[in-house]
Structure 1
């Protein structure tokens, strides 16, 4: 145990030094691009989902965690209404905030996210204005680690520091970020990603009250038990998946409405199972399977939070496996039924189970259909596991991660 504690402390020191280097490089790049020094720096982490796959949009519960890969901005306030951003990963953009209506050509773009965040804040009566920013990210795009949510929250945090005297809560900034993603970017989603990125740490989140989600902090570290957390990026494309993602909340909501409610969280599971024959006359089978996933997954979140509280890592791994199996069988978000020839996630899961031989745990990660799986690997297997995944999906596909205690963080 002493080794793992020392290893965790070493990782923290190494992480702080790495951030110092990133800040210095970002300040230098800002000065080169904009001709002056930035006034402030801010960072936001990516996130992983541990349990609660596609439950947030039905007002359910989730467990998610911030990670040690994040996004850093250095920025300076301007005296106009133009937001100018340069990113090494995404290039340059400029958004004129004198127009806050959604722009058709900005759907699916970073510019749409900036405009959407600003629009939500303005609608809430919060002052907005221009700024210049240089942004650099460690979060691989399309890796399922919420690079878009981190970007949205980072933009909201910059508005907060420049124009709201840093008075807005992480939850408020997460609402602004979710609005931008739903309305301006065009991706239907719950608020798990944004709230976890904004809050940091390991979060048990209950979305029963849509306007006031309840967040409870949990504490554990895979390293303390001799395991390594990985995300494996299969590099399968998220293009053209919006309809597939949208089908999940749409079908779950159709079941809730058939039971006389707006969301599945409001429904009695016993009533659902008692009425299955009647529901099947009205609905197709897949919505019913997805509702079954919701009810069992929501219960799993509560049990997992209790297990983490008492430090039962073996039981935690068992529930993680169950959550992944439910996503595969009932939620059915591992591959597209319309394209069964493309099953990178299925292959990653199958080969991971072969390598782990009943040890650790593996599951689909995030929205699904493409992208990433999550694996918790015993330390004696971690080097071989990373090598095998990199061989199968390309160098750098197996990404080791650690949980990260901070959400929105003032770097200076």
Structure 2
């Protein structure tokens, strides 16, 4: 049976592992304060993991394709300490009452509900991989917006994973972490995500976007120096409520898998853009054809974007971003009015390109803009929202930062 309780933590001082990335001092302080108040002791350490935004490559990950995300400055911080028994207690500032669970709950997907399932899922994935997971007390604070498509779930999974690996001195190379975190989200929490989110959150590098081949899991760090180019990426949280997101996401995934079966390829990634028209002619209906067209053309847009960034032509990726949005809107049908309004307003205000980012049906828009014009573009989006009667969006300029790290 799960239990909720406040407990005291025992001392521990594992050696810190360093990595790129920083966390908001305020978020880290909140995690520490929460730990002290809930457990009456000091944490053994603090671990931080970022949110992520996907520059381009949407719904390509589960089709064995290509994606190009980068890690964000917003962070989730976990303050933690080990305990002698195999039991885990976690507190979050989003839910003031700690949640406790033991091996019996951790070993059975579905036994730990709500936000704590992301923590239990990490314990489950580690145990399933044969790792001797240490019992622990944890406290979580975050400035990664929940439900905005910026991977708050991958951030908490990755920060908890880093904490448990360190606290238990586990022999687990970081290259294996993304797959374990995805395993937790897919098979314990029940969210059918690809490998992109966890890869970006764990393996992100400051000043770079992460070019990920979702079939081979090979990564390449692509220079994305916005400051040198005089540019900024503006992220607009649409504040649109997610509309049927889970069911629609799963429906599109099934459609893509069925199309690959009909076409006789392992995944839609294997459809050559040069052969796209012939492939579409083999499909049974227009909706399936549109879904396939999005995935195949989106993969190519990722490759084209990478080529431009390698050449230092950052400002020239804008049309690819905008074409990606049009494909998501018209072929994959995953945008909503708030999202389309933000894209249109950003482009009208001078953005080089703009697109929805994330799984769709709500979430965020990103726009590539001159750094000097970021405020003006944000104001234009806000004005367009007010004119349409939408709730005011939240907008901020972001830059690529490092992945999961131990703070102290």
**Any idea what SS the aligned residue of 1:345 has?**
helix
The aligned counterpart of 1:324 is 325
The aligned counterpart of 1:221 is 225
1:303 aligns with 2:310: no
What is the rounded CA distance, in whole Å, between the counterparts of 2:310 and 2:279 in structure 1? Answer: 36
User: Shift of the alpha carbon at 1:55?
Assistant: 0.5
1:346 aligns with 2:340: yes
The answer to whether the Cα contact below 8 Å between 1:51 and 1:64 also exists between their aligned partners in 2 is yes
Using the TM superposition, name which of 144-153 and 316-325 deviates more. Answer: 316-325
User: Shift of the alpha carbon at 1:146?
Assistant: 0.6
What is the rounded CA distance, in whole Å, between the counterparts of 2:243 and 2:55 in structure 1? Answer: 24
Please report the TM-score for the alignment, with normalisation by the length of structure 2. Answer: 0.86
User: Shift of the alpha carbon at 1:103?
Assistant: 4.5
Cα deviation 1:98-152 (Å, max 9, x = unaligned)? 3334444645x22222222222211211111321111111111112111011111
What is the rounded CA distance, in whole Å, between the counterparts of 2:150 and 2:26 in structure 1? Answer: 23
**Any idea what SS the aligned residue of 1:288 has?**
helix
Alignment partner of 2:214 out of 207, 210, 215: 207
The answer to whether the Cα contact below 8 Å between 1:81 and 1:130 also exists between their aligned partners in 2 is yes
The answer to whether the Cα contact below 8 Å between 1:81 and 1:98 also exists between their aligned partners in 2 is no
Please report the TM-score for the alignment, with normalisation by the length of structure 1. Answer: 0.86
The runs of 5 or more residues in structure 2 that have no matched partner are 1-20
1:87 aligns with 2:92: yes
What is the rounded CA distance, in whole Å, between the counterparts of 2:30 and 2:93 in structure 1? Answer: 12
Q: Following TM superposition, where does structure 1 have runs of at least 4 consecutive aligned residues deviating by more than 6 angstroms? A: none
The answer to whether the Cα contact below 8 Å between 1:170 and 1:195 also exists between their aligned partners in 2 is no
The answer to whether the Cα contact below 8 Å between 1:95 and 1:114 also exists between their aligned partners in 2 is no
User: Shift of the alpha carbon at 1:374?
Assistant: 0.8
1:50 aligns with 2:55: yes
Please show how residues 349-364 of structure 1 align to structure 2 within 5 Å.
349-356=343-350, 359-364=351-356
Question: Whose helix fraction is larger, Structure 1's or Structure 2's?
Answer: 1
1:98 aligns with 2:104: yes
**Any idea what SS the aligned residue of 2:54 has?**
strand
RMSD of the alignment, in Å? 2.2
User: Shift of the alpha carbon at 1:284?
Assistant: 2.6
1:189 aligns with 2:186: no
The runs of 5 or more residues in structure 1 that have no matched partner are 1-14, 336-342
Cα deviation 1:171-215 (Å, max 9, x = unaligned)? 322112111211222221111001100111220001223xxx001
**Any idea what SS the aligned residue of 2:181 has?**
helix
Q: Across the two proteins, how many residue pairs are aligned to each other?
A: 379
User: Shift of the alpha carbon at 1:372?
Assistant: 1.2
